[in-house]
Chain A
Amino acid sequence: MRAPRAIAILMGSLGLALGILGCSETPPAESPPAAGSGARPVVRLATTTSTDNSGLLERLLPPFEKWWGAPVHVIAVGTGRALDLGRNGDVDIVLVHDPAAEDAFMAEGAGLNRRSVMFNDFLIVGPKDDPAKIAQASGPADAFARIARAEAPFVSRSDDSGTHKMELAVWKKADLQPAGKWYLEAGQGMSATLLMADEKNGYCLTDRGTYLAMRAKLHLAPRFEDPEALRNPYSIIAVNPAVHRDVNYLGAMALVAWVTSPEGQKIIADFRVDGEGLFHPLAVPPQEPAEAKPQKATR
């Protein structure tokens, strides 16, 4: 008889532990009742690692959550995956950076109300001695060609992200198909790829936001910049409720409105890492043509 009692004690204590844990779980997760019950439902946002890892969303979303009255659930993946989640109706809204893939997403009717949110640019980071001499390159394609010629290590995202798509476009422009021991396909997020490039002492195409957020941990430094040719625009797109009837369209549109509002855009403009701005608002650009940032005066 002792064994059943022991099991009862065990189950009881597990249940008790679970009960306590259930209570101590974060209140915002519990507060919004299921969709359709009258209360405001959660907004599910799929976005890229570049916006999430940089810390921008932790600044941009809380005021919205307070106003809207329900949390935003952020799922940070590559742009390709984020758009797929939108296609499948697994999220209500996407914040992504791959204009060509966004065009396809819109053409399929998967998304609605695409709005430009902000931009920054991509840059090529590399080792201090710049073995491929890309600092003297005439353009991004030439820089890539020099890296390929020197067979210097190059770490690629290779995860169908917006950054990866940009990289592939540059290779295409250079008329090259990167292959060989020097071309490393990481298949990971931007921060992890930068760390890998750092360990391999190689080159890497990165968005400026993630690079600035990671800069303190890297030996790599910018070796080639071209804000015009390597422009990196972000868009926000609501998932079409005609395709997926159960998506939170109202919440998605409210979030579109917040992110493209003067208040939301100001948060984006004011967002700094180590004193440097990471993103430039596009929907409501700042009034002054150039802020007091000498390095960015060209934009």
Chain B
Amino acid sequence: MRWTLEQLAEALRLLGSLDRQVLSALALSLGVATLSTVLAMAAGVPIGIAVGLARFRGKRILTTVLHALLALPTVLIGLVLYTALSSRGLLGSWRLLYTPAAIVMGQCILALPLVTALVLAAAEGVDPRVRLTALTLGASRWRIARTILAEGRGAFLAAVVAGFGRVFGEVGISMMLGGNIRGYTRTVTTAIALETAKGEVPLGIALGLVLMFVALAVNLLFLHLRRRATP
């Protein structure tokens, strides 16, 4: 009990003395998580709306598969992308392995099923009368999609929040595809993993707290946006 409290106290003390390396790791974590969430939304919103509004055979199977993909392990994404990005691999000539871009690719794949599933559910949840009304008013498909976007905006923001949360805290992809290179691909989570492996428990906890504070700040921003988006 005493030891546990000591470690926590030391972690809080370390919060005051975090250095430039931590800031660079934090900047990288935020940067890659933001970019991968934006990219995942860019792909996930159209897919989610299209599938959500369409009626076709196998839709339920597709949705089930999508939900199963929510359990996609980060290390599997890391491994498969490693085989592609390795210098020997399919995309080896791009020379992306152990760069921040590789982390973004992996995190994008991680977030895509999640945001797609949430957008899909939101699109399905939009009152069918909205669609019918829009149709009777002679709206085009594009117009209908925009109406749906407007109706489900709260849900889309929720998808952004969930996607960001999923990638911001992940460690497997960042470790395998980023390589935890100091000052280049070291994110907050890979730094935590490293400090833990080295037995620097208080520093690991301090880094974890930093991650949580920043996640809270980002979510407060989203909350603000959501309030403004909902009438």
Contacts and interface: CB of A to CB of B under 8 A. Distances in A.
A188 B23 CA distance: 27
Nearest to B199: A217
A25 B180 contact: no
B197 A53 contact: yes
Interface in B146-188: 146, 149-150, 153, 156-157, 160, 179-185
B95 A3 contact: no
B88 A26 contact: no
Contacts, number: 108
Interface residues of A, number: 45
Interface string A6-33: 1101110111011001101110110000
A89 B181 contact: no
A21 B28 CA distance: 7
A89 B88 contact: yes
Interface in A72-116: 73-76, 88-90
B174 to A, nearest CB: 13
A189 interface: yes
B86 A246 contact: no
A18 B39 CA distance: 13
Given A1-B150, A6-B225, A90-B98, 7 more contacts: A7-B156, A17-B34, A53-B198, A73-B98, A89-B88, A188-B197, A192-B196
Nearest to A54: B198
B24 interface: yes
Contacts of A26: 24, 183-184
A73 B99 CA distance: 10
26 contacts: A2-B229, A3-B150, A3-B153, A4-B149, A6-B225, A7-B229, A13-B225, A14-B34, A14-B38, A21-B28, A21-B30, A21-B31, A25-B27, A25-B28, A28-B183, A44-B98, A71-B183, A73-B179, A73-B181, A74-B182, A75-B181, A191-B199, A192-B196, A194-B199, A214-B198, A244-B87
A25 B197 contact: no
B58 interface: no
A71 B196 CA distance: 25
A75 B225 CA distance: 40
A268 to B, nearest CB: 19
* A interface secondary structure, majority: helix
Contacts of B97: 90
Nearest to A18: B34
A22 B229 CA distance: 28
B35 interface: yes
Contacts of B23: 24
A197 to B, nearest CB: 12
A195 interface: yes
A11 B180 CA distance: 28
B16 interface: no
Nearest to A9: B225
A18 B35 contact: yes
Interface in B89-109: 92-93, 95, 97-98
Given A44-B98, A74-B182, A10 B199 contact: no
B221 interface: yes
Given A4-B150, A14-B38, A189-B197, A246 B27 contact: no
Given A9-B225, A22-B31, A24-B27, A75 B180 contact: yes
> What is the interface of chain B mostly: helix, strand, loop, or mixed?
helix
Contacts of B34: 14, 17-18, 21
Interface of A: 1-4, 6-7, 9-11, 13-15, 17-18, 21-22, 24-26, 28-29, 34-35, 44, 49, 53, 71, 73-76, 88-90, 188-189, 191-192, 194-195, 214, 217, 244, 246-247
Interface in B65-100: 86-88, 92-93, 95, 97-98
Nearest to B95: A246
Contact of B87 (A28, A53, A90, A188): A90
B198 A21 contact: no
Contacts of B196: 192
B88 A88 contact: yes
A30 to B, nearest CB: 10
B138 interface: no
A68 to B, nearest CB: 15
Contacts of A71: 183-184
A214 B183 contact: no
B228 interface: yes
Contacts of A189: 197
A2 B184 contact: no
Contacts of A88: 86-88
Given A17-B30, A88-B88, A89-B88, A11 B183 contact: no
Nearest to B93: A246
